[in-house]
Amino acid sequence: MSAVLLVLLCAYLLTTSVAALVARLEPRESWIGLGVSAAAVMVMPLLDWRKRVANRTIGSSALRVDVAETITCAYMAGATLVGVTLSTVAGLWWAEYVAAFALLFFVGRRRWRRSKGSRGQRALRERVAT
């Protein structure tokens, strides 16, 4: 379910960013957005670390997925912070959309590498088991 929601979120982000760039939709400055994303950039990695520590004891697959979502949220907050800062402070209206594309590329690449690595690990375990 989490993976499906992440894919839907990425599709929405890609679609709206492309449409806004084509339409030259200039976002308003957002000082609140700067504050919220700055706070998330600081808090989310700490939350990720605490969840990882807890999961070493618990060993929960559900918590492992939640950890992945938490660090993805930290990446989203970082991209938002960069984009909103460049848009609000420097007046680069397109920066928020470019930051969204960079986030999508980074998250997609990270997920692809992890899925490729997990398939390789499974194949290795199967070879060792036989």
Query: 127 in the Ramachandran plot: left (φ > 0), alpha (ψ -120 to 50) or beta?
Result: alpha
Cβ-based neighbours of 104, under 8 Å, separated by 6 or more: 10, 13, 14
Number of domains comprising the chain: 1
- Mean pLDDT, residues 4-12 taken together: 80
Model pLDDT, residue 126: 56
Of 10, 76, 13, give the one whose Cα is nearest residue 43.
76
Confidence of residue 42 (pLDDT cuts 50, 70, 90): very high
pLDDT over 90 at 104, yes or no:
no
Q: 37 is in which domain, residue-wise?
A: 2-129
Q: What percent of the chain has pLDDT over 70?
A: 85
pLDDT digits (tens, 9 = 90+) for 44-99: 999 999 999 999 999 998 888 888 888 888 988 999 999 999 998 898 999 999 99
pLDDT over 80 at 128, yes or no:
no
